[in-house]
Structures are given as structure tokens and as C-alpha cells.
Chain A
């Protein structure tokens, strides 16, 4: 399957700081990437859909000014958690759609575990 990377794999930060997470498609060009959040023992919650060259589409209840998404190239999308607070601590996972595969097929990155102190 297609390869998606994320960086960093984990991060610990102080409350009030901002954290940037990168998502890269390594062997294909991803016109669409997705950002999910997963709390312990819960399923994935879609936060936003990121399209290259355009503004991200956020799911209901997700604050776009707090979770800034930039999809500046066909292989890179970034999620910035601004002014992070302890309740933002979670497992953040990106996925990318490979246009060469059938619609809806997504490949996931390894995830970034964010801990806000």
C-alpha cells in the first residue's frame, strides 16, 4: 500500500504553546488528506479534509482558528494546534487519498501523540 509519514511521532508541550504536525505522502501525490483525532478507547474522529491549494473543510464542532491546516503541496499537509491546552492531548492521525486507487481509499500515517502539560 501507499506510504504516509507523520512528524513528530510524539510531542510534549506546555499549555499555551503551538504545535505543528506534518503529514507527507512518500510515494504518491495526494490531492486530498484528512486529519483525525482519536481519544483513548474511542474511534477516529474526522477533524478536517485538506485539499491541495485550497482551504480545508472542517467538520462540525472543530475550531478552524485553533486547528490550522495547510496543504501547500501535493505531498505535504500540516496541522498546527494553536494555544494548546491539556484537553487537546490526543492521538492525531493523518491519512491521504491515493488518486490511483478507488475513491474513498485512504492510507494512514503512523500518528502523532500530543501531550499538553
Chain B
């Protein structure tokens, strides 16, 4: 069974600091990974996707993928209060379906 694991948190980070969110997965056949942000009562919003080992940067966000260790992470630099949300990690297996983690609740403290 394909599983994606996340620490549910909550994770509290001071404003301006780097928030680090981690995710591990069990299926080595996973081909793609996605980070979604979900505000309370809203639907998920795609932040980034990553396919290749290494880092991928987009503005304040950096996704990191290590296939050998089967983990993917999301770094948020210069954290803002508006970054407070639940972050969902998801793995794709090339068949279009995504397997979601349970999400990590992030709180940025002003």
C-alpha cells in the first residue's frame, strides 16, 4: 500500500524564520511529489511539484526530494503570518492518482 507520512504538528515558527516541513513515502515507485497549502475551511492550493532529486526553488518556497531516503521536504523562507495553514504532501505514481499525507499544521508567530 502506498503511504505518505507527515508529522501532524502543530509546527510553530517565528515570523521571518525558515519553516521546514517534512514528508516520507513508502513506495519507491513514486514518480512525483506535490505540496499543497490548505487554509481552514478552504480547498487545497498547489504550491509546488518536484520530480527530480535535489532542490527546486520558487520564490520563498524550496522543495527538496531525496529518492534514496524516500523523503521530500518543503522549506518556507522569511515565514509570514499568511503562511499559517495546513500543508499537505502528496505522491503521484504516474497513474494520475495522488496519495495524500495527513497534513502538517503550521503556525507562524508574529
Contact = CB atoms under 8 A, between A and B. Distances in A.
Given A102-B32, A102-B49, A108 B43 contact: yes
B44 A93 contact: yes
Given A43-B88, A43-B103, A44-B100, A103 B44 contact: no
Contacts, number: 57
Nearest to B30: A104
A61 to B, nearest CB: 14
Given A102-B51, A104-B34, A110 B43 contact: yes
B102 A106 contact: no
A43 B100 contact: yes
Contacts of A71: none
Interface stretch (B17-25, B64-72, B76-84, B91-99): B91-99
Given A43-B100, A44-B100, A49-B96, A110 B31 contact: no
Nearest to A109: B43
A46 B100 CA distance: 9
A84 B49 CA distance: 36
Contacts of B109: none
A103 B98 CA distance: 10
Contacts of B42: 110-111
A104 B98 CA distance: 7
Interface string B37-67: 0000111111001010000000000000000
Contacts of B36: 108
14 contacts: A43-B100, A43-B103, A44-B44, A103-B32, A103-B92, A103-B96, A104-B97, A104-B98, A106-B98, A108-B36, A108-B43, A108-B44, A109-B43, A111-B42
